[in-house]
Structures are given as C-alpha cells and as structure tokens.
Amino acid sequence: MQADGYVTSDFYPSLLERESIVSTLLGEGIALPHSLGLLANKTVVVRIISPQGIEWNAETKEVANVIFLLAISKADYEEAIVIYELFVTFVKEKATKRLINSRNFNDFQVIAKDSLSRIN
C-alpha cells in the first residue's frame, strides 16, 4: 500500500500500535485492522481471505478468516463510517463463509447488498 502511494510510512507502525491496544477482530472470523489516525493519502480497503485462518490472538487462539485492512484518508472520513458499518453487518449476518467463497468484487457486492437488506 505504501509502494502504491496509498499510505505514508507512519501507517504500518500506527497499525501495529492500534492492534496492541485492543484487537480489531470483530468476531465471526472477521478482522478490521486500521491505524490510529487518518494516515492514508487515499482511502483503500484491502481484502485478505484465509480459509484456514490466521491466528489473530495468541492468548485466545482466535483466528481471522476474512480481513479488511482499512486505510482511510482525512478527506474520506465521513464516508468511511459507512464502510465500517458494512463490516459490522457482516459479523451480525454471519457472512464469513460467504465472504471466504467470494471470488471477485461482484460476489462481494452481492453479499454486501444481501447482508444490508436483511437489517434495513
């Protein structure tokens, strides 16, 4: 993300510091790591899918299967709140398996629309 100009060199240390304060694992195998501040030059969400899971908490042995790495710019902060709400909806709707099986952005859009339609 830094090489592509999305974030500054301060982003990754801030991301690690944020995770050390409290886990960004939301539940249902979905994690939402992000920095402490708005350190992105341009807002981007990187999706990481791990069917076998990535250990997220060594003490509890919790794993993340779907990770949405958020980098949010100051200019997009208000719009980014909607992104966060969508990810919380995925947890509420227990959408992890569907997200793991999604293969492209179109699949993701279908899951997002379906999940949101159930709560609205």
Tell me how many domains the chain contains: 1
Question: What is the domain extent for residue 61?
Answer: 11-119
So what's the pLDDT on residue 58?
A: 83
So what's the pLDDT on residue 120?
A: 56
Q: Residue 26 domain-assigned?
A: yes
Q: Residue 1 domain-assigned?
A: no
Q: Residue 5 domain-assigned?
A: no
- Per residue in 18-70, pLDDT (tens digit) is 999 999 998 889 999 999 999 999 999 999 999 999 999 888 889 999 999 99
Q: What is the CATH number of the domain that holds 21?
A: 3.40.930.10
- Write the DSSP string, 58-85: TTTTEEEEEEEEEE--GGGHHHHHHHHH
- Cα–Cα distance list, 21 to 14, 16, 33, 91, 115 (Å): 11, 9, 12, 21, 30
- Per residue in 74-100, pLDDT (tens digit) is 999 888 888 888 888 888 888 888 898
User: What residue type is 109 in one-letter code?
Assistant: Q
